[in-house]
Chains A and B, each alone.
Chain A
Amino acid sequence: MDTNIYKSSREVHSADFIDGHSVDIPILKILKQDGSVYKGAELPDIDQELATKIYKTLAFHRVLDERMIAAQRQGRVSFYMAALGEEAASVGSAAGLHDEDMIMAQYREQGALMFRGFRLDQFMNQMFSNELELGKGRQMPIHYGSKELHYMTISSPLGTQIPQAAGYAYGQKLQGKERCTICYFGEGAASEGDFHAGLNMAAVHQAPVIFFCRNNGYAISTPSNEQYAGNGIASRGVGYGIKTIRIDGNDILAVLKATQMARAYALENNQPVLIEAMSYRLGAHSTSDDPSGYRTREEEAKWAEHDPILRMKNWMLNQKWWDEDQENELFEGLRDEVLKAVKVAEKIAKPGIEDVVSDVYDIPTPGLEKQLDELKEHIRKYPDAYPNTAGRF
């Protein structure tokens, strides 16, 4: 038994309260908006091949988001969530991982899935909940998942993946996998009890998990100064005994550098790490939200100047790893591909009626089989009312 806490405190004999904001948390910046690098900054491990892959992923992300917001407005998909302005956080961190590290996301980290190689048609199938979708059309759009790509299926309840990531990483350690888990969440989700539970569990049980907080200033309409009174999310990591860093989330090189170091530390020491990436949610929370109700155009315009994709492009141009012809070809090609993919995915049939009752359990129970039989009989009687499934069984 170790009750060292009683012995380790320095004794004082006059009451002196520790200031709630006394933890000094600097912010790591490597890349300037003009594409130059801060003097003395240590660059991450990156070459032209990796840089090009990251940049193409960022471009794909931007184009997909813009096109799908438009598609939702046309009523072609029911719902969408973009990551406009904060794409570098998910893409840059995924680039700092091994492809077999587990990713447990909140919902605004499709960039990590893109970096892993989830195909355009797979994104489309999920959003259109058609019969080719891996999740069998059961969840809302953007709730992606892929066992093959080690990307845990997203669920809507906020923060629930945080203690799960601690457990997942503990299992990886127990089985000697030499793999870690990254867990993404927003600063709003960090107010949930599961944030506390997950970070404390990971620290006490020494799980190799990277907690990656996207602090983008807003949880729907709630600004971060109504979310917490302390020094952001990073100051809490220190309280749990977790190695912590705050970074510029719009700086692809800072994100990559911090994640590479966090991964190495987590695996070498079997310890969790907390990264707080500061950014700004440039778009609406979702297609069901209108930010003009709670913030100004001026504020948005100011942050638009911190565009992480433009910043990386400027760096790529400086490196002579990229030029304007490649830029135009890439973006025009992507816009064309996304439009075509929408037209394909929306014509694919919905999943069969059997998928309503499969996977509730490993094997459908007798009660579920009975409910399915009754449902089929009902659909046969009223086929016009159920056009997606009638005549298909």
Chain B
Amino acid sequence: MAQMNLLQAINNALDIAMAENDSAVCFGEDVGHFGGVFRATSNLQEKYGKARCFNTPLTEQGIIGFANGLAAQGSLPIAEIQFADYIFPAFDQIVNESAKFRYRSGNEFNVGKLTIRTPYGGGIAGGLYHSQSPEAYFAHTPGLKIVVPRNPYQAKGLLLASIRDDNPVVFFEPKKLYRASVGEVPEEDYQIPLGKAEVVSQGTDISLLGWGAQMETLEKAAKMAEKQGVSCEIIDLRSILPWDVETVANSVMKTGRLLINHEAPLTGGFAGEIAATIQSECFLHLESPISRVCGLDTPFPLAHEKEYMPDELKTFEAIMASVNY
């Protein structure tokens, strides 16, 4: 075990992946010698050479198109998009190409080896274009997997699983936690399975569901609610697509209440999908309407970031409203 922050855990996972597979290639804007604007790819070029860790021209559609080609060829591309806010120029390559490659060819070809890493989320005074959480756009795309870790241990285990998974994975890294989140991380190789949620703490009165950086918000809100005598069960979804319906439904059948929290705007956010599914699966067990505590239906503002965010106070209020319904 070693103390690592979330960036170091990601760097460690990339190092392991590149050491075990000669065809693993890390690339993106400023990823090479500089090691990335957040330093996630530090020292990889020195260790594995310029051919396997390199800067690309500033073109997101080019990065993902190139990555699709590498993956189809049998190499192991780990592409970086500098901010999730800038993934949209590559939306066509991801949605029309990566996601449909295997299906449309009858499995003659696939890009299963592709992993796209990208920092996401607010809380760093990033304004409109350094704060977005675009997971719901991709969640509407069959063929993709979408993964979000909440701490360094998760980041390493989930990233290694994503890199080795035989499907294209979009891996969203909570940049607010890159340096802020520090924890014990095994130095050896390990994986955390995709598609499985984790019950972080047990409770009996309400299920709180979130992912990534918002897990801290749920924990803070749960502590406030405990003081009011409310027992919260906290679940980290970890994989947005495909998502673990069973774990969430089992929890809601026990507690009878569900609150979902995400930073992205409410309308069309992934909480809507979860709420509709759980309402269908757990209709007879629900004691109150499913609550969604999300970002506002606005672009992500700078001066009013604090007001925009679905923070612990808003979450606490929603917990109490649900239990008092």
Contact = CB atoms under 8 A, between A and B. Distances in A.
Interface of A: 102, 104, 133-136, 138-139, 143, 145-147, 152-153, 155, 157, 160, 162-172, 174-175, 181, 193-194, 196-198, 200-201, 204-205, 358-362, 365-367
Contacts of B109: 145, 147, 152-153
B123 interface: no
Contacts of A146: 108
A365 B195 contact: yes
Contact of A174 (B23, B57, B142): B23
Interface string B213-248: 000000000000000000000000000001001100
B65 A200 contact: no
22 contacts: A133-B106, A134-B105, A136-B106, A138-B106, A153-B105, A160-B65, A166-B62, A167-B72, A168-B72, A169-B69, A193-B89, A194-B65, A197-B57, A198-B65, A200-B62, A205-B56, A359-B107, A361-B145, A361-B167, A361-B242, A362-B166, A367-B242
Interface of B: 23, 25, 51-52, 54, 56-57, 59, 61-62, 64-75, 77, 89, 92-93, 96-97, 100-110, 112, 142-143, 145, 166-167, 195, 242, 245-246
B112 A170 contact: no
Nearest to A148: B108
With a 10 A CB-CB cut-off, give which of B72, B102, B105 has the most chain A CB atoms: B105
B141 to A, nearest CB: 10
A138 B100 CA distance: 11
Contacts of A193: 61, 89
Contact of B69 (A135, A163, A359, A360): A163
B103 A197 contact: no
Contacts of B73: 102, 167-168, 171-172
Contacts, number: 157
Contact of B66 (A102, A170, A174, A360): A170
Contacts of B59: 196-197, 200-201
Contact of B72 (A152, A196, A366): A152
The 9 closest A-B pairs by CB, nearest first: A163-B65, A167-B69, A197-B62, A171-B73, A153-B105, A164-B69, A167-B66, A168-B69, A136-B106
Contacts of B70: 167-168, 170-171
A201 B104 CA distance: 26
B96 A362 contact: no
Contact of A138 (B75, B103, B166): B103
A198 B105 contact: no
A153 B107 CA distance: 10
Contacts of A168: 69-70, 72-73
Nearest to B27: A205
B142 A163 contact: no
A30 to B, nearest CB: 32
A361 to B, nearest CB: 5
A160 B93 contact: yes
Nearest to B61: A197
B108 A153 contact: yes
Nearest to B165: A362
Contacts of B167: 361-362
B45 to A, nearest CB: 13
Contacts of A135: 104-106, 108
Contact of B68 (A136, A138, A167, A366): A167
A136 B57 CA distance: 37
B106 A359 contact: yes
A201 B57 contact: yes
A181 B296 CA distance: 47
B96 A166 contact: no
Contacts of A172: 73
Contacts of B69: 104, 163-171, 181
B62 to A, nearest CB: 3
